[in-house]
């Protein structure tokens, strides 16, 4: 597993494109990641959607390597506003140009589901603690506030 947050990969600055720079690395970090990518049988990319696209860190990694990624399968899990679908759509086009083999289906987690999972439990506890009063007291009209409307019974 490679977490791009842990890498300090410099911008690509070799005079030849990665497709022609066969395993030429400008730093130890690039070489270490290149060897890990080369040894992998395939990839699962977990990406968020950022401004209708994928992250700059992922773009930088894809710009650095070609031979190490070529002819390997890649699957996507996306999360964000529309489940990362737009980022994954762009990534599919990029990895095809890198001679990778994208898996047809992807996993998309909508942003609302991520927020519910990450904040839901804490928010419920906080709301209960903030109330401090029983539910019946909370329904009573507040001075100067609107009076509750009651439905007429037939």
Indicate whether 32 belongs to any domain: yes
In a domain, 144, yes or no: no
**CA distance from start to end of the chain:** 65
Q: Are strands 43-48 and 107-110 parallel, antiparallel or unpaired?
A: unpaired
Does 62 reside within a domain? yes
In a domain, residue 146? The reply is no
pTM here? Answer: 0.68
Could you give the angle at the alpha carbon of 16 between the alpha carbons of 13 and 20, nearest 5°? 130
Q: What pLDDT is recorded for position 130?
A: 47
48: in domain: yes
Position 119 scores a pLDDT of 63
> Residue 142 domain-assigned?
no
Mean pLDDT split into 10-residue runs, the chain, 154 residues: 84 82 85 92 92 90 91 94 91 95 93 66 48 50 57 61
CA torsion, points 48, 90, 4, 108, in degrees to nearest 10? Answer: 30
Q: What is the pLDDT of residue 112?
A: 72
Write the CATH number for 32. Answer: 3.40.50.360
Does residue 143 fall inside a structural domain? no
Q: How many domains does the chain have?
A: 1
pLDDT attached to residue 36: 93
Is 147 contained in some domain?
no
Domain with 47 in it: 17-122
């Amino acid at each position: 597993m490679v977490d791009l947050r842990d890498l300090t990969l410099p911008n690509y600055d070799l005079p030849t494109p990665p497709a022609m720079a066969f395993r030429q690395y400008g730093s130890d970090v690039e070489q270490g990641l290149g060897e890990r990518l080369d040894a992998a049988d395939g990839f699962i990319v977990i990406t968020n959607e950022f401004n209708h696209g994928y992250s700059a860190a992922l773009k930088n990694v894809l710009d650095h390597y070609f031979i190490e990624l070529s002819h390997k399968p890649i699957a996507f899990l996306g999360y964000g506003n529309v489940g990362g679908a737009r980022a994954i759509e762009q990534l599919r086009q990029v990895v095809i140009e890198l001679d990778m083999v994208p898996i047809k289906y992807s996993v998309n987690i909508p942003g609302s589901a991520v927020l519910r999972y990450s904040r839901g439990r804490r928010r419920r506890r906080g709301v209960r603690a903030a109330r401090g009063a029983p539910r019946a007291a909370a329904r009573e009209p507040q001075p100067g506030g609107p009076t509750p409307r009651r439905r007429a019974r037939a």
